[in-house]
């Protein structure tokens, strides 16, 4: 798999799922990530496969619910409808991940779906040390790593250092551009070290999805779509990729 740029429901939280798919297509994306919350939410208890395709857009990942029973439902749904990845946030203390995460990873592996654990500013998994603690606690049922570059930068942490530490385990990357106050801004207008980070990814042969996040809730949908479209070209330049107009 080569690098693919995707986007997320977090960019357009008030849209229905069909509206989200349509907006993503307009911005030039072929895949989005869905949450169990937000207006475009998926139902872990089950939906038909066609519910996750529209306007030439599919779903690349489900964000997992925090509790084990609903997480297991989400795993089974992802396996049935062809969603390849599930994203785990801080559902508990990192050192207790053998209890709140490992069972989900084991089930996902059995069903052919990949689980990745992510960092987030202000949550129980915020730093590289927290990620390492989760991996150690899970032992043989450890997940892959979703490296959330924007959240490392927002927390004042070094995303490049975390990338180097977990490089063989990084199966998904999230990225955003931030201003000096840590607020999401259009790509190419902030202070995030995008070029260096993207060059690091490309030069070391990363082959996976990079999810483009633009969390500017105050903007109208059309403007967010325009910024998401422009972001593809900023990121493609940094990665040395060709992007279709």
Question: Does residue 81 fall inside a structural domain?
Answer: yes
For residue 89, the enclosing domain spans 4-239
**Of the candidates 63, 66, 146, which has an alpha carbon nearest to the alpha carbon of residue 101?**
66
Question: Does residue 48 fall inside a structural domain?
Answer: yes
Question: Does residue 125 fall inside a structural domain?
Answer: yes
52-95 pLDDT, tens digit per residue, is: 999 999 999 999 999 999 999 999 999 999 999 999 998 799 99
Question: Does residue 245 fall inside a structural domain?
Answer: no
**Of the candidates 242, 209, 2, which has an alpha carbon nearest to the alpha carbon of residue 116?**
209
Would you state the structure tokens that stand for residue 58, as one six-digit string?
Answer: 């599919």
Those residues of the chain that have pLDDT short of 50 are none
pTM of the model: 0.95
Tally the domains of the chain.
1
Look at residue 177 in the predicted model and tell me its pLDDT: 97
- In angstroms, rounded to a whole number, what is the distance separating the alpha carbons of residues 34 and 41? 6
Question: Does residue 244 fall inside a structural domain?
Answer: no
Q: What is the CATH number of the domain that holds 95?
A: 3.20.20.150
Look at residue 245 in the predicted model and tell me its pLDDT: 58
Question: Does residue 182 fall inside a structural domain?
Answer: yes
- In angstroms, rounded to a whole number, what is the distance separating the alpha carbons of residues 88 and 62? 9
Look at residue 243 in the predicted model and tell me its pLDDT: 64
φ/ψ of 111, rounded to 5, equals -100, 5
**Of the candidates 201, 192, 188, 186, which has an alpha carbon nearest to the alpha carbon of residue 154?**
192
Question: Does residue 143 fall inside a structural domain?
Answer: yes
Question: Does residue 9 fall inside a structural domain?
Answer: yes
Look at residue 103 in the predicted model and tell me its pLDDT: 98
């Amino acid at each position: 798999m080569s690098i693919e740029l995707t986007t997320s429901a977090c960019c357009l939280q008030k849209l229905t799922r069909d509206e989200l798919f349509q907006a993503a297509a307009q911005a030039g994306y072929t895949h989005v990530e869905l949450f169990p919350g937000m207006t475009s939410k998926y139902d872990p208890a089950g939906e038909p496969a066609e519910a996750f395709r529209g306007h030439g857009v599919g779903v690349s990942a489900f964000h997992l619910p925090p509790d084990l029973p609903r997480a297991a439902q989400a795993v089974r749904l992802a396996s049935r409808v062809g969603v390849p990845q599930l994203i785990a946030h801080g559902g508990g203390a990192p050192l207790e991940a053998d209890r709140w995460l490992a069972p989900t990873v084991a089930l996902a592996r059995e069903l052919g779906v990949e689980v990745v654990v992510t960092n987030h500013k202000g949550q129980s998994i915020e730093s590289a040390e927290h990620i390492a603690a989760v991996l150690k606690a899970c032992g043989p049922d450890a997940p892959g790593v979703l490296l959330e570059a924007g959240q490392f930068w927002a927390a004042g942490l070094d995303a490049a250092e975390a990338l180097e530490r977990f490089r063989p385990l990084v199966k998904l990357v999230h990225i955003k551009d931030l201003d000096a106050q840590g607020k999401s801004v259009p790509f190419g207008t902030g202070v995030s070290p995008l070029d260096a980070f993207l060059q690091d990814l490309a030069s070391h042969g990363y082959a996976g999805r990079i999810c483009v996040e633009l969390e500017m809730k105050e903007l109208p949908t059309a403007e967010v779509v325009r910024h998401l479209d422009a972001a593809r070209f900023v990121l493609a330049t940094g990665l040395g990729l060709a992007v279709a107009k």
